Amino acid sequence: MSLFWRIFSLNAVGLVVAAALLLGPVTVSTPVLPGEVLVVVVGLTALLVVNAVVLRVGLAPLGRLGRAMATADLLRPGARPVVSGPVETAELITTYNAMLDRLETERAESAARALSAQERERRRIARELHDEVGQTLTAVLLQLKRVADRAPEPLRHEVSQAQEATRAGLEEIRRIAHRLRPGVLEELGLLSALRSLAAEFSAHGLRVRHDLAGDLPPLTRETELVFYRVAQEGLTNTARHAHADRAELRLTAAPDGVGLLVRDNGRGLGDASDGAGLTGMRERALLIGATLTVEPAPGRGTDVRLHIPTEDRA
Protein backbone atom coordinates (compact mmCIF):
# COMPACT_ATOMS: atom_id res chain seq x y z
CA MET A 1 0.00 0.00 0.00
CA SER A 2 1.33 3.43 -0.92
CA LEU A 3 2.10 6.07 1.69
CA PHE A 4 -0.84 8.16 0.46
CA TRP A 5 -3.37 5.40 1.07
CA ARG A 6 -1.85 4.51 4.45
CA ILE A 7 -2.20 8.06 5.76
CA PHE A 8 -5.56 8.67 4.09
CA SER A 9 -7.02 5.41 5.43
CA LEU A 10 -5.88 6.20 8.96
CA ASN A 11 -7.37 9.69 8.82
CA ALA A 12 -10.57 8.39 7.21
CA VAL A 13 -11.04 5.81 9.98
CA GLY A 14 -10.67 8.51 12.62
CA LEU A 15 -13.13 10.81 10.87
CA VAL A 16 -15.69 8.03 10.34
CA VAL A 17 -15.48 7.02 14.01
CA ALA A 18 -15.93 10.63 15.06
CA ALA A 19 -18.96 10.98 12.78
CA ALA A 20 -20.45 7.74 14.12
CA LEU A 21 -20.05 9.00 17.67
CA LEU A 22 -21.77 12.26 16.77
CA LEU A 23 -24.69 10.33 15.34
CA GLY A 24 -24.76 7.83 18.23
CA PRO A 25 -24.09 8.31 21.93
CA VAL A 26 -22.39 11.71 21.60
CA THR A 27 -25.18 13.91 20.30
CA VAL A 28 -26.99 17.08 21.29
CA SER A 29 -30.48 15.79 20.60
CA THR A 30 -32.39 12.58 21.01
CA PRO A 31 -33.50 11.28 18.64
CA VAL A 32 -31.00 12.51 16.04
CA LEU A 33 -32.56 15.01 13.72
CA PRO A 34 -32.32 14.56 9.92
CA GLY A 35 -30.67 17.95 9.60
CA GLU A 36 -27.90 16.88 11.99
CA VAL A 37 -27.32 13.72 9.97
CA LEU A 38 -27.00 15.79 6.80
CA VAL A 39 -24.56 18.23 8.41
CA VAL A 40 -22.37 15.42 9.78
CA VAL A 41 -22.30 13.51 6.47
CA VAL A 42 -21.52 16.64 4.44
CA GLY A 43 -18.83 17.67 6.92
CA LEU A 44 -17.30 14.18 6.87
CA THR A 45 -17.25 14.15 3.06
CA ALA A 46 -15.66 17.61 2.94
CA LEU A 47 -13.00 16.63 5.47
CA LEU A 48 -12.15 13.48 3.52
CA VAL A 49 -11.85 15.41 0.25
CA VAL A 50 -9.67 18.12 1.81
CA ASN A 51 -7.53 15.46 3.48
CA ALA A 52 -7.02 13.64 0.16
CA VAL A 53 -6.08 16.85 -1.66
CA VAL A 54 -3.64 17.97 1.04
CA LEU A 55 -1.99 14.55 1.12
CA ARG A 56 -1.78 14.36 -2.68
CA VAL A 57 -0.15 17.79 -2.88
CA GLY A 58 2.17 17.12 0.03
CA LEU A 59 3.36 13.76 -1.31
CA ALA A 60 3.70 14.87 -4.95
CA PRO A 61 7.39 15.86 -4.51
CA LEU A 62 8.14 12.32 -3.35
CA GLY A 63 6.58 10.98 -6.54
CA ARG A 64 8.71 13.32 -8.65
CA LEU A 65 11.77 12.24 -6.68
CA GLY A 66 10.98 8.57 -7.32
CA ARG A 67 10.60 9.14 -11.06
CA ALA A 68 13.85 11.13 -11.14
CA MET A 69 15.69 8.32 -9.33
CA ALA A 70 14.27 5.72 -11.73
CA THR A 71 15.42 7.66 -14.81
CA ALA A 72 18.77 8.98 -13.53
CA ASP A 73 21.66 8.32 -15.92
CA LEU A 74 25.21 9.40 -15.06
CA LEU A 75 26.05 9.52 -18.77
CA ARG A 76 23.34 12.16 -19.28
CA PRO A 77 23.96 14.53 -16.38
CA GLY A 78 22.14 17.69 -15.40
CA ALA A 79 18.57 16.48 -14.71
CA ARG A 80 17.53 17.28 -11.14
CA PRO A 81 14.15 17.09 -9.37
CA VAL A 82 12.84 20.44 -8.14
CA VAL A 83 13.25 21.00 -4.41
CA SER A 84 9.73 21.49 -3.05
CA GLY A 85 7.22 20.19 -0.52
CA PRO A 86 7.42 20.06 3.27
CA VAL A 87 10.71 20.58 5.08
CA GLU A 88 11.47 16.86 5.39
CA THR A 89 10.70 16.20 1.72
CA ALA A 90 12.72 19.23 0.58
CA GLU A 91 15.70 18.05 2.65
CA LEU A 92 15.41 14.56 1.12
CA ILE A 93 15.37 15.97 -2.44
CA THR A 94 18.30 18.29 -1.64
CA THR A 95 20.29 15.36 -0.26
CA TYR A 96 19.52 13.30 -3.36
CA ASN A 97 20.62 16.14 -5.67
CA ALA A 98 23.87 16.52 -3.72
CA MET A 99 24.46 12.78 -3.92
CA LEU A 100 23.84 12.85 -7.68
CA ASP A 101 26.28 15.75 -8.08
CA ARG A 102 28.91 13.78 -6.19
CA LEU A 103 28.29 10.60 -8.19
CA GLU A 104 28.50 12.46 -11.51
CA THR A 105 31.74 14.13 -10.47
CA GLU A 106 33.26 10.85 -9.32
CA ARG A 107 32.06 9.12 -12.51
CA ALA A 108 33.60 11.83 -14.67
CA GLU A 109 36.89 11.66 -12.76
CA SER A 110 37.07 7.87 -12.92
CA ALA A 111 36.16 7.92 -16.61
CA ALA A 112 38.89 10.49 -17.23
CA ARG A 113 41.45 8.28 -15.50
CA ALA A 114 40.25 5.19 -17.35
CA LEU A 115 40.27 6.87 -20.75
CA SER A 116 43.66 8.42 -20.09
CA ALA A 117 45.02 4.98 -19.21
CA GLN A 118 43.33 3.59 -22.31
CA GLU A 119 45.04 6.16 -24.53
CA ARG A 120 48.43 5.37 -22.94
CA GLU A 121 47.83 1.67 -23.53
CA ARG A 122 46.81 2.35 -27.13
CA ARG A 123 50.05 4.25 -27.72
CA ARG A 124 52.10 1.47 -26.12
CA ILE A 125 50.43 -1.25 -28.19
CA ALA A 126 50.75 0.82 -31.37
CA ARG A 127 54.45 1.40 -30.68
CA GLU A 128 55.06 -2.29 -30.03
CA LEU A 129 53.12 -3.31 -33.13
CA HIS A 130 55.11 -0.89 -35.26
CA ASP A 131 58.53 -1.45 -33.73
CA GLU A 132 58.43 -5.13 -32.79
CA VAL A 133 55.89 -6.94 -34.97
CA GLY A 134 56.43 -4.63 -37.93
CA GLN A 135 60.19 -5.07 -37.90
CA THR A 136 59.81 -8.84 -37.52
CA LEU A 137 57.51 -9.05 -40.54
CA THR A 138 59.86 -6.81 -42.52
CA ALA A 139 62.71 -9.20 -41.74
CA VAL A 140 60.52 -12.12 -42.81
CA LEU A 141 59.84 -10.37 -46.12
CA LEU A 142 63.56 -9.89 -46.73
CA GLN A 143 64.25 -13.52 -45.90
CA LEU A 144 61.45 -14.66 -48.23
CA LYS A 145 62.95 -12.53 -51.00
CA ARG A 146 66.31 -14.28 -50.59
CA VAL A 147 64.55 -17.65 -50.57
CA ALA A 148 62.61 -16.71 -53.72
CA ASP A 149 65.83 -15.79 -55.51
CA ARG A 150 67.37 -19.16 -54.72
CA ALA A 151 64.29 -21.40 -54.87
CA PRO A 152 63.72 -23.66 -57.86
CA GLU A 153 61.01 -22.67 -60.29
CA PRO A 154 58.28 -25.03 -58.94
CA LEU A 155 58.56 -23.43 -55.47
CA ARG A 156 58.74 -19.78 -56.48
CA HIS A 157 54.98 -19.46 -56.84
CA GLU A 158 54.40 -20.69 -53.27
CA VAL A 159 57.14 -18.42 -51.93
CA SER A 160 55.56 -15.51 -53.79
CA GLN A 161 52.21 -16.28 -52.14
CA ALA A 162 53.93 -16.32 -48.74
CA GLN A 163 55.47 -12.94 -49.56
CA GLU A 164 52.08 -11.47 -50.46
CA ALA A 165 50.46 -12.83 -47.30
CA THR A 166 53.29 -11.43 -45.17
CA ARG A 167 53.11 -8.07 -46.94
CA ALA A 168 49.32 -7.93 -46.39
CA GLY A 169 49.84 -8.76 -42.72
CA LEU A 170 52.42 -6.00 -42.43
CA GLU A 171 50.03 -3.48 -43.98
CA GLU A 172 47.28 -4.58 -41.60
CA ILE A 173 49.62 -4.18 -38.62
CA ARG A 174 50.49 -0.66 -39.77
CA ARG A 175 46.82 0.20 -40.24
CA ILE A 176 45.92 -1.04 -36.76
CA ALA A 177 48.84 0.87 -35.24
CA HIS A 178 47.74 4.01 -37.05
CA ARG A 179 44.19 3.69 -35.69
CA LEU A 180 45.45 3.05 -32.17
CA ARG A 181 47.79 6.03 -32.22
CA PRO A 182 46.70 8.76 -34.66
CA GLY A 183 50.07 10.33 -35.35
CA VAL A 184 48.57 12.70 -37.91
CA LEU A 185 46.44 14.22 -35.12
CA GLU A 186 49.51 14.99 -33.03
CA GLU A 187 51.56 16.25 -35.95
CA LEU A 188 49.08 18.03 -38.27
CA GLY A 189 46.02 18.76 -36.13
CA LEU A 190 42.34 17.84 -36.03
CA LEU A 191 41.33 18.82 -39.57
CA SER A 192 44.07 16.78 -41.24
CA ALA A 193 43.34 13.85 -38.93
CA LEU A 194 39.63 13.88 -39.85
CA ARG A 195 40.45 14.09 -43.57
CA SER A 196 42.81 11.13 -43.19
CA LEU A 197 40.12 9.23 -41.28
CA ALA A 198 37.55 9.86 -44.02
CA ALA A 199 40.04 8.75 -46.70
CA GLU A 200 40.83 5.59 -44.73
CA PHE A 201 37.19 4.51 -44.53
CA SER A 202 36.57 5.51 -48.15
CA ALA A 203 39.42 3.22 -49.19
CA HIS A 204 37.63 0.30 -47.49
CA GLY A 205 34.28 0.58 -49.28
CA LEU A 206 32.41 3.30 -47.37
CA ARG A 207 32.09 6.55 -49.28
CA VAL A 208 32.70 9.32 -46.76
CA ARG A 209 32.06 12.94 -47.71
CA HIS A 210 33.62 15.47 -45.36
CA ASP A 211 32.87 19.12 -44.77
CA LEU A 212 35.34 20.53 -42.25
CA ALA A 213 35.33 24.16 -41.18
CA GLY A 214 38.74 25.79 -41.38
CA ASP A 215 38.02 28.62 -38.92
CA LEU A 216 37.95 26.59 -35.73
CA PRO A 217 38.82 28.32 -32.46
CA PRO A 218 41.81 27.03 -30.50
CA LEU A 219 41.04 23.63 -28.98
CA THR A 220 42.92 21.73 -26.32
CA ARG A 221 44.62 18.43 -27.13
CA GLU A 222 42.04 16.58 -25.04
CA THR A 223 39.18 18.19 -26.97
CA GLU A 224 40.75 17.39 -30.34
CA LEU A 225 41.32 13.79 -29.25
CA VAL A 226 37.67 13.44 -28.14
CA PHE A 227 36.43 14.83 -31.47
CA TYR A 228 38.70 12.45 -33.36
CA ARG A 229 37.72 9.37 -31.32
CA VAL A 230 34.00 10.14 -31.62
CA ALA A 231 34.33 10.51 -35.40
CA GLN A 232 36.37 7.30 -35.56
CA GLU A 233 33.88 5.33 -33.47
CA GLY A 234 30.92 6.75 -35.40
CA LEU A 235 32.39 5.74 -38.77
CA THR A 236 33.41 2.34 -37.37
CA ASN A 237 29.84 1.67 -36.20
CA THR A 238 28.57 2.76 -39.60
CA ALA A 239 30.93 0.42 -41.45
CA ARG A 240 30.20 -2.55 -39.16
CA HIS A 241 26.55 -2.34 -38.22
CA ALA A 242 24.60 0.24 -40.24
CA HIS A 243 24.58 -1.53 -43.63
CA ALA A 244 25.32 1.86 -45.19
CA ASP A 245 27.28 2.75 -48.33
CA ARG A 246 27.58 6.50 -47.72
CA ALA A 247 28.50 8.62 -44.72
CA GLU A 248 29.04 12.28 -44.00
CA LEU A 249 31.60 13.82 -41.64
CA ARG A 250 30.97 17.47 -40.77
CA LEU A 251 32.82 19.79 -38.39
CA THR A 252 31.35 23.24 -37.84
CA ALA A 253 32.16 26.31 -35.77
CA ALA A 254 29.42 28.64 -34.54
CA PRO A 255 29.16 31.42 -31.94
CA ASP A 256 27.69 28.95 -29.45
CA GLY A 257 30.43 26.33 -29.84
CA VAL A 258 31.96 23.65 -32.05
CA GLY A 259 29.95 20.75 -33.43
CA LEU A 260 30.73 17.40 -35.05
CA LEU A 261 28.23 15.41 -37.13
CA VAL A 262 28.62 11.82 -38.33
CA ARG A 263 25.67 10.85 -40.56
CA ASP A 264 25.02 7.66 -42.53
CA ASN A 265 22.29 6.32 -44.80
CA GLY A 266 22.04 2.94 -43.08
CA ARG A 267 19.17 1.10 -41.46
CA GLY A 268 18.98 3.40 -38.43
CA LEU A 269 18.95 2.76 -34.70
CA GLY A 270 15.90 0.51 -34.39
CA ASP A 271 15.45 -0.92 -30.90
CA ALA A 272 19.16 -1.42 -30.29
CA SER A 273 20.48 -0.30 -26.91
CA ASP A 274 23.71 1.58 -26.32
CA GLY A 275 26.70 -0.67 -26.80
CA ALA A 276 30.27 -0.24 -25.63
CA GLY A 277 31.01 2.12 -28.52
CA LEU A 278 28.22 4.60 -27.73
CA THR A 279 28.92 4.37 -24.01
CA GLY A 280 32.57 5.18 -24.66
CA MET A 281 31.58 8.17 -26.81
CA ARG A 282 29.30 9.50 -24.07
CA GLU A 283 32.05 9.14 -21.47
CA ARG A 284 34.51 10.98 -23.70
CA ALA A 285 31.98 13.77 -24.27
CA LEU A 286 31.60 14.23 -20.51
CA LEU A 287 35.35 14.77 -20.16
CA ILE A 288 35.26 18.01 -22.16
CA GLY A 289 31.81 19.22 -21.11
CA ALA A 290 30.29 18.34 -24.48
CA THR A 291 26.86 16.98 -25.36
CA LEU A 292 26.49 13.80 -27.41
CA THR A 293 23.20 12.93 -29.10
CA VAL A 294 22.40 9.89 -31.23
CA GLU A 295 19.17 10.18 -33.20
CA PRO A 296 17.59 9.15 -36.52
CA ALA A 297 18.86 11.06 -39.52
CA PRO A 298 16.45 12.92 -41.82
CA GLY A 299 14.97 10.36 -44.17
CA ARG A 300 17.08 7.35 -43.29
CA GLY A 301 20.12 6.47 -41.22
CA THR A 302 21.63 7.75 -37.99
CA ASP A 303 23.04 11.07 -36.80
CA VAL A 304 25.77 11.20 -34.16
CA ARG A 305 26.23 14.78 -32.94
CA LEU A 306 28.90 16.09 -30.59
CA HIS A 307 28.66 19.71 -29.46
CA ILE A 308 30.88 21.61 -27.04
CA PRO A 309 29.51 24.98 -25.92
CA THR A 310 31.60 28.13 -26.15
CA GLU A 311 31.78 28.65 -22.40
CA ASP A 312 33.05 25.10 -21.83
CA ARG A 313 35.49 25.33 -24.73
CA ALA A 314 37.29 28.25 -23.06
Residues 130-161 have pLDDT tens digits of: 778 888 888 888 888 888 888 787 787 888 88
Give 260's pLDDT tier (boundaries 50, 70, 90): very high
Q: Is 307 left (phi over 0), alpha (psi -120 to 50) or beta?
A: beta
pLDDT tens per residue, range 114-137: 777 877 887 788 778 877 888 888
Beta carbons within 10 angstroms of residue 24's beta carbon: 9
- Predicted confidence at residue 69, as pLDDT, reads 82
Question: Average pLDDT of the chain?
Answer: 81
Going from the N-terminus, what domains does the chain have, and what CATH number goes with each? 3-104 (no CATH), 185-314 (3.30.565.10)
In the chain, the percentage of residues whose pLDDT exceeds 70 is 90
Specify whether the CB–CB gap between 273 and 263 falls below 8 A.
Answer: no
Whether the predicted pLDDT of 107 surpasses 80: no
Cα 66 to Cα 55: distance, rounded to the nearest angstrom: 17
